[in-house]
Structure 1
Amino acid sequence: MIQVSHLLAEKGGQIHTIGPDEPVLAAIQLMADRVIGAVLVMTGDQLVGIVSERDYARKIILNGRSSSGTPVRDIMTASVITVNSTDTIDTCMRLCTDSRVRHLPVVDDRKVVGVVSIGDLVKAVISEQGEQIEQLQRYIAG
């Protein structure tokens, strides 16, 4: 079973963050620049929330609020669902599905070490299944 640590080793542990008092526009610009769907909201080394494109659409656009005049803290999800690097990909997939989230910060010993997205998880599952199919084909042909 693939663990989150293996996934982070392949993709890297890049973490994109923003402060809770920054304007939402800055968060959206960061997401656009980095081609990502969410950024972690941090105060120093402490994870205080996560803000996603979905938060922006639902809490800014639909409510007619200003992106430049609204701080990230007003739209972020404060109760962040996290995983650690020893969790399995299956555990993460279940969390994403059950909680309807697309991004899981990876926290080890209270320190954020990375983020996995639903896309990362699906890619890992497809790769693992491909390897299993190949092994079975070799076994059958062997």
Structure 2
Amino acid sequence: MFPSSVLSITWPRFHPSRYLHLVRASGLYDLLLTVGFATPWTLAWLLPQLSALNQALGGQAFPAFEPLHALFCQLMGSLVTVWSLLRLWRPQIHLGRFDAAARALFSLWMALAWWQTQAPLLLVFLLPEMLWGLSQAWPIRSADQ
């Protein structure tokens, strides 16, 4: 078990207004990273770039994408783009908490994919995903503090 001194640490907390800035910033990050996945035309341009980056990092070229693979990329890109725009337009604490939960799931599946493929590009996406999730799960001060 942990020593009582570790458990009694008072962790710093976000001020609510700073937390909302964080929610908005995570929305902008997601928008910039995922809008390229949202349409067939942008995905057709983006995949060779990502494959080349994976190769430059020591990984292998991506396998050929079939229309069904592309569909799932576009669904993810479309949903995350809309989710990003919502957080940019109207950031709220509960949206940040939901985003933290989604990032935990995304991180888990990215880590599993990395474990299965060892694709170095996944680590480029995984680390920020985990940091955004952790920061949005961080405690927030109550309004009277």
Structure having greater relative contact order (Cα 8 Å, sep ≥ 6): 2
Q: Which has the higher strand share?
A: 1
TM-score for both structures, normalised by structure 2: 0.35
Q: Which has the higher helix share?
A: 2
TM-score for both structures, normalised by structure 1: 0.35
